[in-house]
Amino acid sequence: MAVTPDRHVLVVAGTDSSGGAGIARDVETVATFGLRACLTVTAVTVQTHGAVERVEQMPPDLIAAQMCAAFASNAMAAVKIGMLGSVDAVTTVASVLASRLPLPVVLDPVLASTSGRALLPMDAVEVLKRRLMPLCTLVTPNLPELALLSGKPVATDEAGIIGQAGSLFESGVAALLVKGGHAEGDRSVDLLLRAGQKPSRFEAPRLDVGMRGTGCMLASAIAAGLALGDDLDAAIGRAKDHVFGKLSEAMPRDFPSPLEGEGGSARSAETDEGCWKK
């Protein structure tokens, strides 16, 4: 894809020495959409594909300086936020962003690693909800993250998801894309929720190939779509198609194609009690 030199996406996230997630995934994804990435490193992690072995947080003044330098150097069309890691990082990022709005901001609330290690302490989660999430265009929690953010058990159905989202809307969150990767079934369904509006569903065949960093990829792809001028629904649909394509590429060559006999691309529709609305 041709590069659009006048549009940049600021990626605010942690590093991943294995290359499976974090900034490595973010930059790769933004480049796929023909955009350039600017970087703010919030934490340096030592990790393999199996475990996080060490985390070093960046000082708050260094996080702020990186963000300000990126904004001073380039025309920023969107921001993608991933791992923050501490209360100080959350408050610093929120303070810098508050002076730069309006600007599309996508937050992937990285609360724990795939291996289960906590990456954001609970006191920072409360600050995240109060200070940063209301500044964002979209927040993209998976089901366990939504449960932590709402202080409730993991939702097992759509009604439970909508109920947990309600408390976050009360705190000023504009929109949530609740990812269904941790759910069951042969379809991966992501639910877009906005206060006062009917939910929209984005779905594709479920591909369990063990790829890390799909949450980073999805959020970065959405930010790239918003930077290119897509509305929120279009950006999410294109992003889900992108992730599905990457998962398909990672499947064993002798595995039957998930696209045989059904549309593989992500679809969106307003839902009414969980049913497709024609």
Domain boundaries, the chain: 8-184+211-231
pLDDT at position 2 is 55
- What is the pLDDT of the chain when averaged over all its residues? 85
| Structure-block tokens of residue 227 | 């930077």
pLDDT at position 264 is 45
How does pLDDT run across 207-228, given as a tens digit for each residue? 776 667 788 999 999 999 999 9
Residue 176 in this model has a pLDDT that exceeds 70: yes
pLDDT at position 161 is 94
271 falls in which pLDDT band (50, 70, 90)?
Answer: very low
pLDDT at position 254 is 52
Summarize the confidence of residues 61-87 as an average pLDDT.
96
pLDDT at position 20 is 85
Higher-scoring residue by pLDDT: 149, 3: 149
Other Cβ atoms less than 10 A from the Cβ of 12: the count is: 28
Residue 260 in this model has a pLDDT that exceeds 70: no
How does pLDDT run across 7-56, given as a tens digit for each residue? 899 999 999 998 888 999 999 999 999 999 999 999 999 988 888 889 99
Per the CB < 8 A criterion, the answer to whether 217 and 29 are in contact is yes
Higher-scoring residue by pLDDT: 182, 189: 189
Strand order of the β-sheet with 175-178 is 52-57, 36-47, 8-14, 76-81, 105-107, 138-139, 175-178, 187-194, 200-205, 267-272, 275-276
pLDDT at position 273 is 32
Per the CB < 8 A criterion, the answer to whether 115 and 153 are in contact is no
Residue with tokens 């990186």: 66
pLDDT at position 225 is 97
**β-bridge partners, 14:** 43
pLDDT at position 235 is 97
Residue 186 in this model has a pLDDT that exceeds 80: no
Residue 160 in this model has a pLDDT that exceeds 70: yes
Other Cβ atoms less than 10 A from the Cβ of 41: the count is: 17
pLDDT at position 110 is 84
pTM: 0.87
Q: Which helix (H) or strand (E) holds 9?
A: strand 8-14
Residue 275 in this model has a pLDDT that exceeds 70: no
Summarize the confidence of residues 254-264 as an average pLDDT.
43
How does pLDDT run across 96-131, given as a tens digit for each residue? 999 998 999 999 998 876 655 677 888 889 999 999
Q: Is the CATH number 1.10.10.10 carried by domain 8-184+211-231?
A: no
CA distance 161 to 154: 9
